[in-house]
Amino acid sequence: MDSATSDLTARPPLRSTADNGLKIVVVGGFGVGKTTMVRSVSDIRPLNTEETMTRAGVGVDDADDVPTKTTTTIAFDFGRISLDARTVLYLFGAPGQERFWFLWDRLFTGTLGAVVLVDTRRLVDSWYAIDRLEHHGMPFIVARNDFGGPQYSADDVREALDLPETVPLIDCDARSRESSKEVLITLVDHLYALSSSARERTT
Ligand SMILES: Nc1nc2c(ncn2[C@@H]2O[C@H](COP(=O)(O)OP(=O)(O)OP(=O)(O)O)[C@@H](O)[C@H]2O)c(=O)[nH]1
Ligand SMILES: [Mg+2]
């Protein structure tokens, strides 16, 4: 058996009891680890639309802060994870480069919530994502991906991103399946809390 096949069989199939499917997007600036997160957490072999960054992108692709990066997402990433016997998340990773941002509004269609990944070395790159999500009225959480950047306090990050206390902010390592799963659980808990309080207000 080759490694690709064994990799696939190691991933659990979708449970027959799964009847609660939620579409989730992972957004954020260029190179913050969106594709890495979808890859690390997905139960199925993820679909990626990665292309090699060539010299043609110099001056267009802002790769100065991520010098080890050789590919970039040009459409979206797709993965799937079962959180429990009933709940399955369909994960879409957005492309981070500005020239592909026009795809985001389409990706948001039917989405219940979002993870905004941030790199503390480049917090400003996440402003656009937060702005778009607020524009769409879409619930989201913020996850600080660990690139070994400055260890700002949570309050400093909230202030820099103008994040209200009601938006969860957590730390993660997108390369770790467990850590990425924790991010998704935090988002789903947040979505349930929001829908419960909305229900309480209407009763
Ligand atoms: N140190 C560290 N590196 C990471 C982490 N997550 C991702 N990386 C690395 O950062 C680089 C960028 O990761 P990607 O997942 O391609 O980033 P992206 O946000 O999908 O990038 P675009 O789609 O091009 O915007 C890769 O080389 C990853 O290996 C992390 O948590 N820590
Ligand atoms: Mg990507």
Domain segments of the chain as ranges = 3-202
Task: Work out which ligand 1 atom sits closest to the CA atom of 28.
Answer: 19
Q: How far apart are CA 75 and CA 99, in angstroms?
A: 11
Q: How confident is the model at residue 59, as a pLDDT?
A: 55
Residue closest by Cα to atom 13 of ligand 1: 33
| pLDDT (0 to 100) of residue 1 | 44
Q: What is the pTM of this model?
A: 0.89
Structural contact between residues 84 and 14, judged by C-beta atoms closer than 8 angstroms: no
* Closest Cα to atom 3 of ligand 1: 147
Measured in angstroms, how far is the CA atom of residue 36 from the centroid of ligand 2? 7
Helices marked H in the chain — which ranges?
3-10, 34-41, 104-107, 127-136, 154-161, 177-202
- Residue with CA closest to ligand 1 atom 31: 173
Q: At residue 62, does pLDDT exceed 70?
A: no
Which CATH number is associated with domain 3-202? 3.40.50.300
- Testing ligand 1's pocket by substitution, the residue of 35, 53, 170 carrying the most ligand atoms inside 8 A of its CB is 35
**pLDDT at residue 154, as a whole number:** 93
Average pLDDT of the segment spanning 66-92 = 90
- When pLDDT is cut at 50, 70 and 90, the band that residue 5 belongs to is very low
pLDDT at residue 192 greater than cutoff 50 = yes
Position 64 scores a pLDDT of 65
Question: Mean pLDDT, the chain, as a whole number?
Answer: 88
Interatomic CA distance for residues 186 and 95, integer angstroms: 23
Is the CB of residue 120 below 6 angstroms from any atom belonging to ligand 1?
no
> Which residues have C-beta within 8 Å of that of residue 90, sequence separation ≥ 6?
21, 22, 23, 24, 78, 79, 80
On the question of pLDDT at 158 being above 80, the answer is: yes
60 compared with 202, residue with greater pLDDT: 202
> In this predicted model, which residue has the larger pLDDT, 146 or 171?
171
